[in-house]
Each structure stands twice: as structure tokens, then as C-alpha cells.
């Protein structure tokens, strides 16, 4: 049945009682967006029946939304910046590597609460083929939890327990492709033309060759080309990632409606954040590079509208591994927002570049570009995640600074595999390409920072330096605009998992180096003084103490500051208003007990020495920000100063 819209006299949810019928609240929200939703949908598809199918799916999902989640919707509508608060603190992990399955993970919630987490990102856990699933990013059922990890009921129970602990669950939603074992792909392989139109299937190489002429390869070494020949179907199928991942055809409205329905289904299981995977790739158009096309933004905006109508407690996090100039578009505008936040891939890469080169100029330039983005742009900052470090630096800025982009990239990935004289790192290359000389890097934070090598060589001074590097990187990351997300195991200095080389199903993917089982025996040492685990655990606690400051409010002003020393990064945070006068004594004490500046203003400065040598810095004063300062920093020191 097609959704019928009745327009109330006052088009605000606030004037609809939270005890009203669910469809009444949905109608109010829907009325705000119906015209725009229809206009956007029609710009992609001339298919009224498909639009009505989407409206039906939205109405059904709204009616099925559990009562506790409806209450959360109302709370979040009253606090729309909840995900920007200074106390936001995240972690990402694989369910099976951390706990085994969802039921077992729920029993580990006390460990997460110890860390005062407010955000948990679980790597893909929907039904997937085994073993070829690209870490779960090949999905064969978007509505069902993988049986090896549990059931939909287990997921709903977990999200409920996490909410009770103050933790929002984030899940990946893989929009670009399905597994080749998905029911749609199976139907396509059996010759069904309806489902072949869910993908990009061609009888010969004519059109694939036209795509390949301009579309970059994602994995030129391990999965070259953008198409795979399917023998059972007798056609070429687009597979931009791996051959077992078939790209979806969003030019077919049935694909969009089905995928949006799955998002709403997962939201009703209690998922509060969706990381939309590989979103720049989802629209394909012959003659283009099939990246960042306008239709991508139309689809993301449609998704945002659907969420605001059906489940407004839910937010979108985009995975956009693109140049900084491409990022702002994925936030949309204040009038027509798209993603609530993005993965801060570019800053992650620049942090590692600064550490290896002991030069913060590229990092500072990157931060200046991101800090200049509009207020609606928000980031999740991190050092390591499930993926590799792709050395996508700003080549124009490198040339301006007199840095050869290719030589610098080669230096970085060889440094982090430990192949450069003086390197303290132990990592591995991923996807090395002999032709382009491109490669990416793998490894855990601790191993890349020198802790593993120091342990192996029984070098205590080097171990101390490795810990200093690790904490410096985390403190710098956590000080930036956005909120920090740890990679599970970083809080206990988990090292590389070299055992993956003994597993024939995992040995071909070096990213498994940092995808090893959580070391619970090491975690047990977190409360034992003088242990490595205790030092890192306390270091992560210091991040939360640091961020418990008014200067981490969502509306804080954030900027880099010149230090007249390329090895040292300075970042200034300033907040105005009543919040500035409620500063906690902990931060004041950490900053030496200095008083606030102008009444109603508070400014803190983060100084981060990316060098292994002592450094002197000078910061010019500003009438409107802070007084000038001179100070000396120890090797790899991170210091927070109240100005």
C-alpha cells in the first residue's frame, strides 16, 4: 500500500507527543522532506512505482521501530550535535578477533566501559562467504548477521546493552557491491536478466574496455582491471575491488530501494551509526572515472532524508578516501546535509608521514585545509584501523615544499617496513605495484612506532622511545577537530600478528598483520604498574582527561599555529561563553595552573614534537587568541598548555 501523507497544522515533531502513534510522528518528519525526496528520486529515475515502493518501505520501517529506539530518536532530535561532544571516544574492532561472537562480545562490555567508550565500530558482521570475503566487505545478505558471529537477535540484544552502557554501535554498510554469492548475483549467474540488471554485465569487452580506459584500478597488483569474466553467466561483470565483489548498478531503482530497506532494517536492530563504505564509487557513468559523480551525492542525500524520517537517532559516517578538495561535498550543505561525519583518512596518513620524516609541514597544511571547512564538517580521527595506510599525500603541496612525491612515498613505505637505515618500525607492504612504484603499509600502531623491534632486541631505551612515539601520535590525533577512535589493542600496545602467514586463507593479504586476535593475557596486565600495557592504558586515559575540557566543545575554534620549527606541530583550541568559565581543575593543573584569559574565553595549545631530539619553539602572540610563548620540548613530547 502506498504511503498516504496527512499534513498536520504544525509541522514539527516537538509538537507531537512522544506517546503519539508512531505513524503520526513519522508523518510529521516525512512531510518536511517529501518534496525534496521526490525531486531527488525523480532526478535519478523516472519510475513512480519504485518511488512508491521506497515510501512503503519507509512507512513499514517506521511502524516497526522499537519503542526504546523511538525514544532515542526524540532525544537525539533535541540534541543533534550529540556525536560532536568532547567526551566522544571510540574504538573499532572485529567481533571474532575480540570476543568470538556477538554474545561473547556483550559479556566484554565492562572492559569497554573501563575505557569510557561512547562509540564502538564493529567491522562487517553481516552474512558473508568464507573464506573469500575481504574482511567482511563482501556481503551476501544485507539483512542477516553472519551465522559464525550470531543472529539478528544477538545483534539487537548487544545494541541494547551497549546503549545502557552509553555506547553507540557503528556498523559498516557496504553500498558499492555485493558478494558474488549474494542471491541477486546467483540469480544473475543463472541467466535471469532482471538480476543481471542489478549489476554491470556485458557479453563482450566493448563497454568494459571503454570503462577501463578511464577508470583507475583499485588494486592493480592483487586484483587488476575493473571487470571479471563469469563463466557460468557467460558475461563480463564489473568488479572494481575483488573478483568476488560485484559492483551494484544504482541506475536501477530496485537496487536503491532494496539497499535503503536494508539500512532501515539494521537501524531497527539498534545500529546508531553507519559507516558507508566506498561511497564515492557507487555511481558509474561511461566516459568518467566513476568517482565522486553528482549522482553519488544525490543518493547520499536520499539516504540522509530517509534516516531523518524513519530513525533520526542514526548518523552517517562516510568512508571517502579522496583528496581533501573532494571531502566537503560529502557533508552536503547546512540546508541539504549528507554525511554527519567522515573518516579522517588524510590526517591519519599525514601523522604517520610526519613521524617518519620528523617534519610536520605537510601535516600542518592538511590540517589548515580541513580546519577551513564549514562548521558542518566533522571527522573521526584515528591512527590505525582494519585497513592499510595508503600514502595519498597532497602532491601539489609536496612539490611546493620541495618534496619529491614519489621519492617521499617510497621512503615512507620502506621506512615502515623497516627497510630504511635508522628505522625502528616493523610493518609490511601491501599491494606493491612495480610499474607505478606505489605501495601501502600494514602493521599495528605499537609495531609501527618501534615497540615490537625494541622488545625483540631487548633494547630498553628504544622501548621507551617507542612508547613515547605511540603516545605522541595518539595525543596529537585526539587533539584535532573531531573525535578520536582507537584501534582495538592499541590501548595495550598489541603487536603485529605474524601468525597470519601460517594460514593459507589469510597469507595472501598482508593487512592480516594487524588483524589478529585480541591478546587478553596482555590486557590482564593493564592494572599492573611498570608493565608496557599499564603505561599504554594510562596513556589512553590521559586522552580522555585531556578532552574533558571546554575547549573540546563542538563549537570550539581550532587552528594550527606557527612554531618556527618544522619538527613541532602546534594546534590551538579556543572557546567563548559560559562553558569557558567552567574549566575542570584537572586541565588547569596539567597546564601548570594558569588562569583563563579574557573573561568568558579559554584557550589551550597542544604542542607535539615529532622529532627524536629536543626542540625549541616560539609561538607569536595574538591580541585575540593568546600571549606569545617560548618553550623547549623533549623528544616526542606532547604538551598541553593553558593560555
Active site residues: 277, 319
Cβ pair 362, 394 in contact under 8 A: yes
- Contacts of residue 369, defined as CB under 8 A and 6 or more positions apart, other chains included, come to 324
292: left (phi over 0), alpha (psi -120 to 50) or beta: left
Torsion angle of C-alpha atoms 46, 50, 52, 58, degrees rounded to 10: -130
Please report how many Cα atoms fall inside a 13 Å half-sphere around the Cα of residue 151, on the Cβ side. Answer: 3
Q: Can you list the positions of beta strands (E) in 338-437?
A: 341-343, 379-382, 389-390, 428-433
CB atoms within 10 A of CB 284: 22
d(CA 70, CA 74): 7
Q: Is residue 122 within a helix (H) or strand (E), and if so which, with residue range?
A: strand 119-122
Helix (H) or strand (E) holding 590, with range, is helix 585-590
DSSP class per residue in 40-87: HHHHH---HHHHHHHHHHHHHHHHHS-HHHHHHHHHHHH-TTGGGSTT
Structure letter (DSSP) for residue 402? T
| Beta carbons of 575 and 550 less than 8 angstroms apart | yes
Three-state DSSP at 393 gives coil
Whether the upstream peptide bond of residue 467 has omega within 30° of 0, thus cis, is no
User: Which residues of 434-505 form beta strands (DSSP E)?
Assistant: 438-442, 483-487
Contacts with 421 (C-beta within 8 Å, 6 or more apart), sequence order: none
491/495 Cα distance (integer angstroms): 11
CA–CA distance, 180 with 253 (Å, rounded to integer): 20
Q: Return the percent helix, strand and coil in the chain, to nearest 5.
A: 40, 20, 40
d(CA 262, CA 268): 10
Contacts 24+ apart (CB under 8 A), 575-584: 575/550, 575/551, 575/601, 575/602, 576/600, 576/601, 579/550, 579/553, 580/550, 580/551, 582/550, 583/549, 583/550, 583/642, 584/548, 584/549
| CA quadruple 464, 467, 468, 471: dihedral, nearest 10 | -160
For residue 412, give the nearest of 349, 353, 360 by alpha carbon.
Answer: 353
Q: How many angstroms separate the CA atoms of 180 and 139, rounded? A: 9
User: For residue 110, which phi and psi values (nearest 5 degrees)?
Assistant: -55, -35
The pairing of beta strand 438-442 with beta strand 428-433: antiparallel
CA distance 609 to 570: 9
Candidates 485, 481, 484; CA nearest to 368 is 481
Amino acid at each position: 500500500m502506498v504511503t498516504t501523507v496527512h499534513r498536520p497544522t504544525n509541522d514539527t515533531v516537538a509538537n507531537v507527543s512522544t506517546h503519539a502513534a508512531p505513524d503520526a510522528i513519522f508523518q510529521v518528519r516525512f512531510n518536511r522532506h517529501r518534496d525534496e525526496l521526490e525531486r531527488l528520486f525523480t532526478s535519478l529515475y523516472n519510475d513512480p512505482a519504485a518511488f512508491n515502493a521506497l515510501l512503503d518501505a519507509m512507512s513499514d520501517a517506521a511502524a516497526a521501530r522499537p519503542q526504546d529506539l523511538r525514544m532515542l530518536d526524540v532525544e537525539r532530535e533535541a540534541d543533534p550535535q550529540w556525536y560532536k561532544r568532547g567526551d566522544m571516544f571510540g574504538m573499532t574492532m572485529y567481533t571474532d578477533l575480540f570476543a568470538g561472537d556477538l554474545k561473547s562480545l556483550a559479556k566484554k562490555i565492562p572492559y569497554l566501559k573501563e575505557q569510557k567508550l561512547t562509540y564502538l565500530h564493529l567491522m562487517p558482521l553481516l552474512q558473508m562467504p568464507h573464506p573469500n570475503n575481504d574482511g567482511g566487505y563482501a556481503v551476501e545478505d544485507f539483512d542477516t548477521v553472519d551465522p559464525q558471529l550470531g543472529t539478528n537477535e544477538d545483534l539487537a540484544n548487544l545494541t541494547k546493552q551497549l546503549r545502557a552502557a552509553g555506547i553507540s554501535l557503528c556498523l559498516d554498510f557496504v553500498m558499492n557491491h555485493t558478494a558474488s554469492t549474494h542471491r541477486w548475483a546467483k540469480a544473475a549467474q543463472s541467466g535471469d536478466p532482471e538480476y543481471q540488471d542489478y549489476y554491470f554485465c556485458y557479453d563482450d569487452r566493448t563497454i568494459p574496455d571503454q570503462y577501463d580506459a578511464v577508470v583507475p584500478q583499485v588494486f592493480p597488483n592483487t586484483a587488476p582491471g575493473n571487470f571479471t569474466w563469469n563463466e557460468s553467466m557467460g558475461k563480463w561483470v564489473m568488479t572494481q575491488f575483488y573478483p568476488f565483489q560485484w559492483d551494484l548498478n544504482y541506475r536501477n531503482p530496485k537496487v536503491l530501494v532494496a539497499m535503503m530497506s536494508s539500512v532501515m532494517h539494521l537501524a531497527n536492530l539498534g545500529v546508531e551509526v553507519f559507516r558507508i563504505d566506498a561511497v564515492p564509487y557507487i555511481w558509474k557513468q561511461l566516459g568518467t572515472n566513476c568517482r565522486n559523480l553528482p549522482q553519488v551525492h544525490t543518493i547520499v542525500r536520499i539516504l540522509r532524508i530517509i534516516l531523518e524520517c524513519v530513525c533520526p537517532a542514526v548518523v552517517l559516517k562516510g568512508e571517502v578516501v579522496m583528496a581533501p578538495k573532494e571531502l566537503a561535498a560529502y557533508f552536503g550543505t547546512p540546508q541539504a546535509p549528507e554525511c554527519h561525519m567522515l573518516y579522517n583518512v588524510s590526517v591519519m596518513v599525514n601523522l604517520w608521514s610526519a613521524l617518519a620524516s620528523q617534519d610536520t609541514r605537510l601535516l600542518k597544511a592538511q590540517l589548515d585545509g580541513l580546519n577551513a571547512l564549514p562548521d558542518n564538517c566533522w571527522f573521526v580521527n584515528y591512527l590505525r584501523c582494519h585497513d592499510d595506510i595508503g600514502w595519498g599525500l597532497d602532491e601539489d603541496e609536496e612539490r611546493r615544499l620541495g618534496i619529491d612525491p614519489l621519492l617521499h612515498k617510497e621512503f615512507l613505505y620502506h621506512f615502515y617496513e623497516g627497510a630504511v637505515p635508522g628505522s625502528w618500525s616493523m610493518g609490511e607492504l601491501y599491494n606493491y605495484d612495480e610499474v607505478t612504484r606505489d605501495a601501502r603499509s600494514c602493521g599495528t600502531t605499537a609495531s609501527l612506532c618501534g615497540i615490537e623491534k625494541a622488545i625483540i632486541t631487548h633494547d630498553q631505551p628504544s622501548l621507551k622511545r617507542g612508547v613515547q612515539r605511540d603516545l605522541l601520535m595518539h595525543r596529537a590525533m585526539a587533539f584535532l577537530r573531531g573525535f578520536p577512535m582507537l584501534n582495538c589493542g592499541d590501548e595495550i600496545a598489541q603487536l603485529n600478528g605474524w601468525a597470519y602467514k601460517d594460514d593459507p586463507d589469510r597469507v595472501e593479504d598482508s593487512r592480516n598483520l594487524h588483524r589478529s586476535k585480541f591478546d587478553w593475557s596482555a590486557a590482564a596486565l593493564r592494572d599492573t604498574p611498570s608493565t608496557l600495557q599499564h603505561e599504554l592504558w594510562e596513556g589512553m586515559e590521559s586522552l580522555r582527561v585531556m578532552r574533558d575540557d571546554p575547549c573540546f566543545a563542538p563549537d570550539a575554534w581550532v587552528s594550527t599555529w606557527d612554531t618556527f620549527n618544522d619538527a613541532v606541530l602546534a594546534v590551538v583550541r579556543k572557546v567563548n561563553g559560559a562553558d569557558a568559565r567552567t574549566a575542570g581543575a584537572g586541565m588547569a593543573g596539567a597546564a601548570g595552573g594558569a588562569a583563563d584569559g579574557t573573561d568568558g574565553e579559554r584557550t589551550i595549545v597542544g604542542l607535539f614534537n615529532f622529532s627524536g631530539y629536543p626542540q625549541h619553539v616560539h609561538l607569536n602572540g595574538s591580541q585575540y587568541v593568546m600571549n606569545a610563548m617560548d618553550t623547549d620540548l623533549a623528544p616526542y613530547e606532547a604538551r598541553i598548555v593553558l593560555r
